[in-house]
């Protein structure tokens, strides 16, 4: 009996090691890979560059940030230590392999080494030059960035609406980070039903920070919803339009938020008016909304402007599948409800985002998870070589969507994944940290710098 129990535990331990539950560093193995990191510039905290791994054993080597002692980096959050995931991977064949690291990826504060792991085994490490290590300085303020809540759409749990669990869990994380606000890029509901908006109001009322949202296509694509929107979403804005920290548009829906703790920066919540895609006559915004938006961009051209609008746009070559917020895999799978290229409001919106490069445009809509960057480097963030404002896509907080390169299955992973950003603003940069809220992990491959 004793031998059977011992064998059982040996098997369980071996499985845990294979799954990465334990991290092993064994004599003779820890130094079996050499890492060379050629950074693309000398910008403090910028991870962009090329990593080369030299090793006698072929396979995939995942790259992690490490502390000064060569341990995988974690960050304190209250009484918990939150781990950072890998920030890239190198495939070694015939003794060597290289991988390019996206220019936006940030080196987290506290990272002093780069580690290479093969499975659960640490195979090598190298030091990050001191001049490249991150020193962020004083934190000015922080906020949460979420999207696509979709109450009444998912029910995998035994407690009813899965979005209630996911949304509350994300807000509880934000609460521990002492955020100034949480901003959402739309799709609160599934079919603009009152019950969705009521659930939203009930949950956000339990928190002290404001939670504001623009509309998404699911919020406006059904019956008239504006009375419900005013009652349940952003009601403190609509009921008090003369507040010093609010600038409400004449349409009574779009608004600027300029809280006292934002150091002069502003949030613009621009609500989509229609569910209208893929026709020559399609439009998402009224001309009057774009007039108002242009005036606000001009008014705040010397500040950080965080624009929240639901639908993402095509890339700088007008390719909807290659732009931020989207992808095309080997089977041609993409998300086909993009801002329709060439329509009058799309053309004007894109021109504004090209003129005002101080804008950071947060959107959602496709639900593509942070991991999708492997099929399109620009999926999560880009400015198209500095020619435009910075575009940032936010996955769904309730159900991120994923697809494999050779698959046609666009899976929505409700109750298995929940993603968004915690955004920290410093004097010389903005750091967006991608978060997996279920299981609480910082996603290093979705942690980005935006430099002033």
Residue with tokens 């939203």: 200
Provide CB contacts within 8 A for 4, sequence distance 6+.
none
Q: What is the pLDDT of residue 90?
A: 98
pLDDT at 398: 97
Q: How high is the pLDDT of residue 6?
A: 44
**With 50 as the cut, is the pLDDT of residue 16 above it?**
no
Domain ranges (residues) in the chain:
23-132, 141-417
Residue 31 — very low, low, confident or very high, per pLDDT cuts 50/70/90? low
| Local confidence band at 403 (pLDDT 50, 70, 90 cut-offs) | very high
What pLDDT is stored for residue 203 in this prediction?
A: 98
| Contact between residue 272 and residue 246 where contact means Cβ atoms under 8 Å apart | no
Distance, CA of 182 to CA of 207 (rounded, Å)? 10
Select from 72, 59, 67, 64 the least CA-distant residue to 37: 64
**pLDDT, tens digit, for every residue of 64-90?**
999 999 999 999 877 789 999 999 999
pLDDT in tens, 323-351: 999 999 999 999 999 999 999 999 999 99
Rounded mean pLDDT, 102-126: 97
Residue 257: pLDDT over 50: yes
Q: Tokens at residue 176, please?
A: 């521990």
To the nearest 10°, report the CA torsion of 276, 280, 286, 289: 100
Determine contact, residues 150/195, Cβ cutoff 8 Å. Answer: no
Fold exhibited by the domain 141-417: Purple Acid Phosphatase; chain A, domain 2 (3.60.21)
Confidence of residue 259 (pLDDT cuts 50, 70, 90): very high
CATH architecture of the domain 23-132 equals Sandwich (2.60)
Band the pLDDT of 18: cuts 50, 70, 90. very low
Predicted confidence at residue 28, as pLDDT, reads 42
pLDDT at 68: 96
User: Which of 93-107 are b and which e, b meaning 16 or more Cβ less than 10 Å from the residue's Cβ?
Assistant: eeeebeeebbbbbbb
Global pTM value: 0.92
- What is the residue-averaged pLDDT of the chain? 93
Please list, in sequence order, all residues whose beta carbon lies within 8 angstroms of the beta carbon of residue 262, skipping any fewer than 6 positions away: 141, 180
Sheet holding 88-92, edge to edge: 88-92, 59-66, 113-118, 121-127
> What is the distance between the alpha carbons of residues 144 and 123, in angstroms, rounded to a whole number?
36
Q: Is residue 256 a contact partner of residue 245, using CB atoms and an 8 Å limit? A: no
pLDDT of residue 353: 98
> Residue 361: its pLDDT value, please?
98
Six-digit token string for 412:
């929505």
Structure tokens at 170: 């994300």
User: Considering only 153-157, 197-201, 420-424, which range has the smallest mean pLDDT?
Assistant: 153-157
């Amino acid at each position: 009996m004793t031998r059977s129990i011992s064998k059982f535990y040996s098997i369980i331990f071996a499985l845990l090691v294979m799954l990465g539950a334990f991290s092993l560093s064994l004599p003779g193995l820890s130094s079996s890979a050499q890492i060379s990191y050629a950074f693309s510039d000398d910008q403090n905290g910028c991870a962009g560059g090329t990593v080369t791994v030299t090793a006698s054993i072929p396979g995939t080597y995942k790259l992690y940030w490490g502390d000064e002692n060569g341990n995988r980096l974690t960050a304190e959050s209250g009484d918990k230590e939150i781990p950072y995931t890998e920030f890239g991977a190198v495939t070694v064949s015939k003794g060597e392999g290289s991988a390019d690291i996206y220019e936006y990826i940030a080196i987290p504060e506290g990272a002093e080494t780069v580690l290479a792991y093969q499975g659960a085994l640490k195979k090598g490490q190298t030091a990050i030059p001191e001049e490249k290590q991150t020193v962020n300085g004083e934190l000015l303020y922080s906020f949460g960035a979420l999207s696509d809540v979709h109450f009444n759409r998912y029910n995998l749990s035994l407690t009813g609406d899965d979005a209630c669990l996911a949304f509350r869990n994300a807000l509880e994380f934000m609460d521990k980070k002492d955020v100034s606000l949480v901003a959402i890029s739309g799709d609160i509901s599934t079919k603009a039903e009152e019950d969705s908006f009521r659930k939203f109001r009930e949950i956000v009322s339990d928190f002290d920070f404001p939670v504001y949202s623009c509309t998404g296509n699911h919020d406006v694509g059904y019956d008239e919803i504006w009375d419900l929107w005013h009652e349940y979403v952003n009601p403190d804005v609509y009921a008090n339009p003369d507040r010093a920290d609010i600038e409400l548009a004449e349409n009574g829906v779009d608004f600027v938020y300029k809280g006292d703790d934002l150091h002069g920066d502003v949030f613009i919540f621009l609500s989509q008016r229609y569910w209208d895609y893929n026709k020559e006559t399609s439009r998402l915004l009224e001309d009057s909304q774009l007039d108002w938006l242009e005036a606000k961009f001009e008014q705040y051209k010397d500040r950080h402007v965080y624009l929240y609008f639901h639908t993402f746009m095509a890339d700088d070559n007008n390719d909807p599948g290659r732009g931020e917020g989207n992808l095309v895999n080997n089977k041609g799978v993409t998300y086909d409800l993009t801002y329709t290229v060439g329509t009058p409001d799309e053309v004007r919106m894109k021109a504004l985002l090209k003129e005002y490069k101080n804008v950071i445009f947060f959107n959602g809509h496709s639900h593509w998870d942070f991991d999708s960057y492997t099929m399109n480097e620009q999926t999560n963030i880009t400015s198209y070589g500095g020619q435009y404002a910075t575009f940032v896509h936010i996955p769904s907080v309730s159900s991120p969507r994923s697809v494999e390169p050779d698959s046609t299955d666009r899976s929505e992973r409700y109750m298995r994944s929940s993603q968004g950003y915690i955004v920290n603003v410093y004097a010389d940069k903005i750091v967006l940290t991608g978060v997996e809220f279920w299981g609480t992990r910082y996603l290093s491959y979705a942690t980005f710098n935006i430099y002033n």
